[in-house]
Amino acid sequence: MEEFSVRHRRFVANYFAGKVKELRFQLAIVVAGCDKSLSTFTSGGEVSRDNHQAVLYGFSAFTNVIQTLKDAVKTVTNEQLDWSKIERLRHGSFMRNVRNAATHDGNPVISGWADGRYFVPSKIVRIDGFGKTIEIPAPAEDVRAICLDFAEDFCLLLRETLIAAGGIEHLKGSKFSIEEVEDAFANSTFIPPFAKELFAQNREKIEADLKDLKHDPIADAVKELGEVIQYCDSVKGD
């Protein structure tokens, strides 16, 4: 298995919680768009084009964050998260394949709408990078239910994977080394000269403070994953 440097793993670990927040952000856009569509339809109104686009583009962005988090958890833990595990989740196989369809083919995926709800109306047919024809069955559930069920299961899997991983204690501590901070101060055109001078005068203290930081990127990621799980559970009955 490919080994990742400690520095590389720390970089990705520091971004992980933020990427989980992005997953929730895109998921919430899809859910809000689906809810607004149903509410508007129920009240006899006309669903706007902007709302359709929010669901369509939000779903596309949501599927791409899935791939990012899959890759990130491999880098952080140095353990492969196989698609076979993800495919066992609710709608796991569907999400894997439509991510490819949306990213590589530009397929909109969501092209069905009925009674205020968004659907994938029929199977999707695509040709993969090896020239093989892939058929993706259309789920019976609407897009809102698909995204919430998958997101909940996926975040549970990511959380379990991070908690179970060993050898990640060395990722704790400051997000940056003193050399990285120093380089940023030296090369940034946005930092005024007086700030650069202050940094130079206090370099040793700043270095000591960095070493004392208790930042734990894995704990932060686990917390954010829990927030997504709670969010999914809280809106399922709406």
* pTM (2 d.p.): 0.87
Could you read off the pLDDT of 56-69 as tens digits, one per residue?
A: 999 999 999 999 99
Mean pLDDT within 86-90: 97
Could you read off the pLDDT of 141-182 as tens digits, one per residue?
A: 999 999 999 999 999 999 999 998 866 766 776 666 778 777
41, 45, 46, 52: CA torsion to nearest 10: -50
What six digits make up the tokens of 71? 């890759």
The predicted pLDDT at position 1 comes to: 44
228 Cβ contact list (under 8 Å, min separation 6): 20, 23, 24, 27, 151, 152, 155
Domain boundaries, the chain: 6-173+215-235, 176-213
